Structure 1
């Protein structure tokens, strides 16, 4: 398991503990603004922690996942309570109520309503400002208690949980608006061909998210990736003299443009750095691929604003799974091969039967790998599954797909044509899938688990 250094976004958990009481601030947003939390951390906590580059990720090793799954009681949390604001960003209902007309249980959004320990940790921060311990506690609580949400999957604090777990810094609203005002991106036509059918049969999604907002967000992300690709292109080397310019004009073949000059032997001998982090988008990355619309949908559904959804979605695809949009989706195809390999280890009989029918994961699991299972309804269960994936690493989506196959095991083995069964997976049951995934992790050898972590990079 890799050890993550506390970073700016993770320090937000600790910053909450030292913030002034909001009793005299009735207009303070619930759980406060992500922008405020990230731009105004507690200076005392910052000075107490070592300065480290922003390299943290949400991935957790198998040891931590197995160890926490075996615990039978939550780790200790801070006991003092802070006053909370009554406002709720993104909702027009009175304080203490959820959206009218929906049958739901209250989850700490009103006066006198008890907060869950997960929400308390997210609001109050870790004990004694220990960010590393607070992050571990947060992961455990996601695994053991489940995020409170109503019947539609809406939670008052899930979006802040995702932002913290994925270590995502805020995006100024003006930056997002600037991308929108640039108009149609080069991928606009492809985006419009996909957005109208995004979760088309899901009434919850259609009621909350408009096609226009999906188009705007995907178009803005396409512009951002387009700009990153432009920066990664090799620039032409300026000539040292007028004579050199004339030689280039005369000797350069017509098929070679100024921006695509041949490399010198010295340049070709230089190793190409492996793309990571914010530099993961390169010349071979697509600014939009089919399926990104479905992967984007849960972010828009759960977020309080398009700007939050933009920050989450853009950071997620460029930092957590850039391989899914690079090199003809090579990361997705590696993930599909890993589905077959993991299934062969965990359920050899089921794998052998599928292989005998010519049913490799390439034929049935492509949408599930690319969209982190967002293609399989119901949407509230997708959100709960994503809580788990963001806490312990999106690479576990591969094992979640294996878990779904195991739950279909008897039906598949009894069918002479399993391809008909695998055309659409049964409705998600996040709780059962997560529990089975935790068991599967124990059977995966360390080298293969390392490949799982790296396959989407």
Structure 2
């Protein structure tokens, strides 16, 4: 296995996944559809039958293993990263696979118990390129081994992309790692044709501010595309909420075309300081309506909690940038929100606040001096790290580095973003400690360096206690 991050927290895939019925193969003349089909073959189909995602199933299995070994856990739903010695090694775990076909750069950081999960890899898949593995699907039907081999390739080699971060392969890899079900385009279009969702005003008040300083994103992704995606997500979450409450799913909203378009400047940014700064009465009225609707939406019931929160626009941006269609971006984003971090968009975003507390806790463990200095300046993570936790660091440019970091996070767990944020702090440790006003430095983190952050995050992982890591895994649920 490529890294300690998932070797200890993600065991082998459940047998039920191995017998899942595959969809009929698409036309051999359509290369893109072949790639998408094999992506779903390599990923899980269990989600189509209402079962948890790959990562959720693996975490549950790991939790059950720990309970059977009477591991002392305060949280019943939290799997734990374990340092297992020869004396207490689980019977299912043998010795390390020291003659693995592919070299793992993190082997020196890993205990033998963690390295042992490398033996689940399929060595025929090891010999294949990542692109061929995604295109052709699991080798000899070995989903578990092929998936582990793919993760190791992502860690060792990355996903090939150009200078702008564009890759025809990336979205398919993300769909696999997120265990996304197949979605036909008509299902996405049906959500679009329903018109404005209950969260539409909030969405419109955020989308024009999304990555406004990033020319790569602005050139490739239109605001209209981002609005459609977020509005469709809001409808989907709204329907799920209505189902839980036993209410009929409603339409009756005006279509997007019937809603007055928000004026925009040539730069794509609109001043929100005051409605009086706009030029015409109609524009002032529109700006005031957007502001009032957004600010009072939670209390007034206009936008229900759990359908849209501020910041989802930035979180959606990399999905649209990497995807080859809005429908692909939609299903990957929806799967991410509902399976990996539902706590980030639920109610008062409790998952985000738990993540911020964990940033402080981890920093105090791995670098007490830096942690103490920040606290003496009244700088807790709540002040400087909120955007980084909520958006998985997508708020920090450059976008190509965000995509590379997300490859790592999707392969080994989005919860590792907590460690990646601590890693960013440690990379600028000297500047923080020598700055009389580190608040100015932390208002915007330095440009992302995905490889350095990944390496340091894995090193941080070795230093934190098992109970803290269990909290990190479960904080976004």
TM-superposed deviation, 1:79: 7.6
**Cα distance in 2, alignment partners of residues 444 and 301 from structure 1:** 34
Match of 2:175 among 163, 167, 185: 163
TM-superposed deviation, 1:3: 2.5
Where does 1:367-406 land on structure 2 (aligned, <5 Å)?
Answer: 367-406=387-426
Q: Which residue of 2 aligns with 1:426?
A: 446
Distance 1:199 1:10, change over 3 A: farther
Q: Which residue of 1 aligns with 2:13?
A: 5
Structure 2 contact 35–172 (Cα < 8 Å) conserved: no
* Runs of 4 or more above 6 Å deviation: 7-12, 58-61, 72-76
TM-score under structure 2 normalisation? 0.69
Residue by residue over 1:214-246, the C-alpha shift from the partner in whole angstroms, topping out at 9 and shown as x without a partner, is 00000001111111111112679xxxxxxxxxx
**Cα distance in 2, alignment partners of residues 200 and 162 from structure 1:** 25
Distance 1:217 1:9, change over 3 A: farther
Q: Which residue of 2 aligns with 1:28?
A: 30
Aligned residues: 362
**Cα distance in 1, alignment partners of residues 16 and 176 from structure 2:** 10
Q: Which residue of 1 aligns with 2:106?
A: 70
Q: Which residue of 2 aligns with 1:289?
A: 309
Q: Does 1:151 align with 2:160?
A: no
Where does 1:12-411 land on structure 2 (aligned, <5 Å)?
Answer: 25=28, 27-30=29-32, 32=34, 34=36, 38=40, 53-57=51-55, 62=81, 68-71=104-107, 77-78=123-124, 117-233=129-245, 285-411=305-431
Distance 1:210 1:6, change over 3 A: farther
TM-superposed deviation, 1:171: 1.4
TM-superposed deviation, 1:35: 5.4
**Cα distance in 2, alignment partners of residues 79 and 132 from structure 1:** 11
**Cα distance in 1, alignment partners of residues 174 and 19 from structure 2:** 14
Moved more, 150-159 or 292-301: 150-159
Structure 1 contact 321–456 (Cα < 8 Å) conserved: yes
TM-superposed deviation, 1:122: 2.1
**Cα distance in 2, alignment partners of residues 8 and 215 from structure 1:** 38
**Cα distance in 1, alignment partners of residues 132 and 307 from structure 2:** 39
SS at match of 1:186: coil
Distance 1:151 1:432, change over 3 A: same
TM-superposed deviation, 1:118: 2.1
Gaps of 5+ in 2: 1-8, 60-79, 84-95, 98-103, 109-114, 249-302
TM-superposed deviation, 1:286: 2.4
Gaps of 5+ in 1: 82-115, 237-282
**Cα distance in 1, alignment partners of residues 36 and 139 from structure 2:** 21
Distance 1:349 1:216, change over 3 A: same
Structure 2 contact 199–304 (Cα < 8 Å) conserved: no
TM-superposed deviation, 1:19: 6.9
Residue by residue over 1:2-56, the C-alpha shift from the partner in whole angstroms, topping out at 9 and shown as x without a partner, is 42535899889x979x979x8xx4x322362535864xx69xx99xxxx994442
TM-score under structure 1 normalisation? 0.72
Structure 1 contact 9–164 (Cα < 8 Å) conserved: no
TM-superposed deviation, 1:285: 3.8
